[in-house]
Amino acid sequence: MKRQAWLLLILFVLLSVACFFEARRFVSLETLTKNELLVWVELDRKRLTVYENGTAAAVFPIAVGSADTPSPIGVFRVVSRFVPEMSGFGTRFLGLNVPWGAYGIHGTNHPDSIGSNASHGCIRLKVKDAEALYQMIPNGTPVVLEGGPYGPMNWGIRTLREGDRGADVMQLQKRLMQRGFLFYGADGVFGSATRRAVIDARRAFSLPSGDTADALLQEKLGLVPFE
């Protein structure tokens, strides 16, 4: 009995620490310090805005991920950059530290795609805009990607299964951790540990057996979209 109490206490402390650091990742215009830059990407409006000192310094039209390969949602940072030859990446690429995949902000050799849901998840700009952005923001610049009416759930609930990636997968993992079905791995990647946790959760909630997180399971976990 004492051992169970200690395990619950340790789990509570770990979750509290995780929530603390997650909260510290939040970025808003009000928290910008003097001379700090912020990139704000509105996926639904297909617009990227660069803020300096809380004021819009530049606005660019963009293309974003398709329904099958959505752009990540969350708060990230620019962590890498390179200057490629003219290609699908245009002539500039800024890499983001998205934990569940390789995503970036870059140019394109298909300028007609700007303003649409056309990429594999990256943020596309016109070549001249990508070159201008590349000069404006250094590595370490925070990047906020928001889109859809449901925050991390993007445009609603989708059935999640092994191999899926995204902000909604990370939200699922966090809820599974809160309920004690998953003890680590809130990285936005639906792997084998998440699959086992989903199986256990479905059994605990008396749902039909399976290894996918459908709308029924997500509702039981409290993942209900709201505007």
Per-residue pLDDT of the chain (227 residues; tens, 9 = 90+): 445 544 444 443 333 333 333 433 444 555 554 558 999 999 999 999 999 988 999 999 999 998 778 899 989 999 999 999 999 999 999 999 999 989 999 999 999 999 999 999 999 999 999 999 999 999 999 999 987 655 565 556 889 999 988 888 999 999 999 999 999 878 999 999 999 999 999 999 999 999 999 999 999 999 876 54
Residues ≥6 apart with Cβ < 8 Å to 216: 207
Say what the pTM is.
0.74
CB proximity list for 212: less than 8 A, separation 6 or greater:
159, 160, 161, 198
Which sequence positions are flagged as catalytic? 106, 122
Other CB atoms within 10 A of residue 220 CB:
17
Structure tokens at 222: 């409290």
Return the structure tokens found at 124.
């596309």
Phi, psi of 87 (to 5 degrees): -160, -160
Distances (CA, A) of 31 to 85, 169, 179: 37, 28, 32
